């Protein structure tokens, strides 16, 4: 399968940056509306062998990648560099914390990491001494000659009438509060997709541009212009695979001893479209391995992870996307 980059330009506010589950769900709804429910069911029930199978990453701010999970330096290494470079202990502690707070890499740094060209000790020394070619700004590891601005991402609290999803009506006097997130103007997101036939998804992306990626479409939230930018090219010379999606693995897929990963628990709900109006749309809690995890895989195949059935509504099986997107 080829890897393509898809840009997301927000029309307004969003509840959060869309993750791989949310994007996968929006694409499945779009396939259903464009190609029919039978085609969607055939795809999901025969996913591994289907000609239109696809895997998506979570979304990220354009120009950035999730930083791989890594122990950048031991305490002894940090102290040794501090002694050699005569760095005051207070400054050494402050600069060392930057390594632990790193969340993203610039695309250039990330691609160099995949190629095996990123020297861990060089990065650590540059950050601690504030010399050399690397620096961390706003939790982003980047080259000093790159001009990457701060992540201008902010939230505001809003309130709405509470809607009883079972009756479809508001409950008098009841309100609920939620977050709305904003990016500065002209800031784009992107996600990556692996597929054998990108043309099949061109109408899907156009349909997604006219609909929300996630819930709250009725109040103008989570709207994005979705555009196929082209093939994503990279070179990989490292053993491990960097996870860019949420991943529910089969145990035998992973070499657990060689991998470094973080695990989280998520609460998701089914998008409340007409089919499920008035139904319980909350899914059970789901555990998964998160973005940035470094996974050494035991198997060589196109599709990793699972699409477990997590709920049934109106005799329809509801799945959750646990497919791993790796670079």
Question: What is the per-residue pLDDT for 109?
Answer: 97
Q: In the 8-state DSSP scheme, what is residue 18?
A: -
Q: What is the pLDDT of residue 318?
A: 79
Round to whole Å and give the CA distance between 80 and 249: 39
Does residue 277 sit in the same domain as residue 302? yes
State whether residue 299 is helix, strand or coil.
coil
pLDDT tens, residue by residue, 159-169: 555 455 455 55
N residues, the chain: 327
Domain assignment present for residue 218? The answer is yes
Distance between CA atoms of residues 67 and 194, nearest Å: 20
**Last-in-domain residue among 143, 164, 186:** 143
Looking at the structure, tell me whether residues 310 and 289 fall in a common domain: yes
Do residues 239 and 176 share a domain?
yes
Q: Say yes or no: 172 and 273 in one domain.
A: yes
Q: How confident is the model at residue 148 (pLDDT cuts 50, 70, 90)?
A: confident
pLDDT digits (tens, 9 = 90+) for 224-251: 899 999 999 999 999 999 999 999 999 9
Residues 126 and 255 grouped into a single domain:
no
Looking at the fold, whether 53 and 73 belong to one and the same domain comes out as: no
Within 13 Å of residue 197, how many CA atoms lie on the same side as its CB? Answer: 9
Please state the domain count of the chain: 2
Give the lowest-confidence range in 86-90, 120-124, 303-307. 86-90
Q: Are residues 58 and 167 in the same domain?
A: yes
Taking the C-alpha atoms of residue 170 and residue 26, their distance in angstroms, rounded to an integer, is 26
Together in a domain, 262 and 315 = yes
Task: Give residue 91's domain range.
Answer: 65-143
**Tens digits of per-residue pLDDT, 187-219?**
789 999 999 999 999 999 999 999 888 766 555
pLDDT in tens, 258-279: 999 999 987 766 665 556 555 5
Quote the DSSP letter at residue 300.
-
143, 167, 191: which is the final residue of a domain? 143
Residues 133 and 259 in one domain: no
Is residue 158 over pLDDT 90?
Answer: no
Structure confidence at residue 227 (pLDDT): 96
Q: Do 106 and 176 reside in the same domain of the chain?
A: no
Could you please report the per-residue DSSP string of 166-221? Answer: TTTEEEEEEEEEEEEEEE-TT--EEEEEEES-GGGGHHHHHHHHTSBSSS-GGGT-
Q: What is the pLDDT of residue 212?
A: 80
| Span 109-129, pLDDT tens digits | 999 999 999 999 999 999 999
pTM of structure: 0.87
């Amino acid at each position: 399968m080829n890897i393509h980059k898809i840009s997301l330009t927000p029309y307004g506010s969003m509840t959060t940056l869309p993750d791989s589950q949310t994007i996968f769900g929006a694409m499945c709804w779009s396939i259903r509306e464009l190609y029919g429910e039978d085609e969607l069911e055939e795809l999901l029930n025969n996913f591994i062998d289907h000609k239109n199978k696809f895997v998506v990453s979570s979304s990220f701010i354009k120009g950035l990648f999730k930083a791989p999970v890594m122990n950048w330096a031991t305490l002894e290494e940090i102290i040794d560099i501090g002694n050699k470079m005569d760095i005051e202990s207070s400054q050494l502690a402050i600069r060392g914390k930057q390594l632990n707070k790193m969340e993203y890499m610039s695309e250039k740094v990330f691609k160099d990491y995949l190629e095996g060209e990123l020297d861990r000790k060089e990065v650590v020394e540059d950050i601690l001494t504030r010399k050399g070619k690397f620096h961390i700004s706003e939790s982003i590891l980047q080259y000093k000659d790159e001009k990457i601005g701060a992540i201008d991402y902010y939230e505001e609290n809003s309130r709405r009438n509470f809607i009883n999803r079972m009756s479809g009506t508001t409950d008098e006097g009841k309100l609920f509060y939620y977050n709305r997130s904003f990016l500065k103007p002209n800031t784009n997101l992107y996600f990556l997709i692996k597929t054998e036939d990108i043309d099949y998804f061109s109408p899907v992306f156009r349909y997604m541009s006219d609909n929300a990626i996630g819930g709250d479409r009725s109040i103008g939230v989570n709207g994005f212009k979705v555009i196929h930018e082209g093939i994503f090219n990279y070179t990989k010379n490292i053993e491990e695979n960097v996870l860019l999606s949420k991943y529910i693995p089969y145990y035998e897929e992973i070499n657990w001893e060689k991998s470094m990963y973080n695990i989280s628990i998520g609460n998701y709900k089914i998008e409340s479209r007409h089919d499920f109006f008035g139904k319980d749309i909350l899914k059970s809690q789901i555990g998964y391995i998160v973005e940035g995890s470094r996974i050494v895989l035991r198997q060589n195949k196109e599709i990793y992870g699972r699409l477990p059935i997590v709920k049934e509504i109106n005799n329809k099986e509801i799945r959750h996307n646990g497919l791993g997107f790796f670079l």
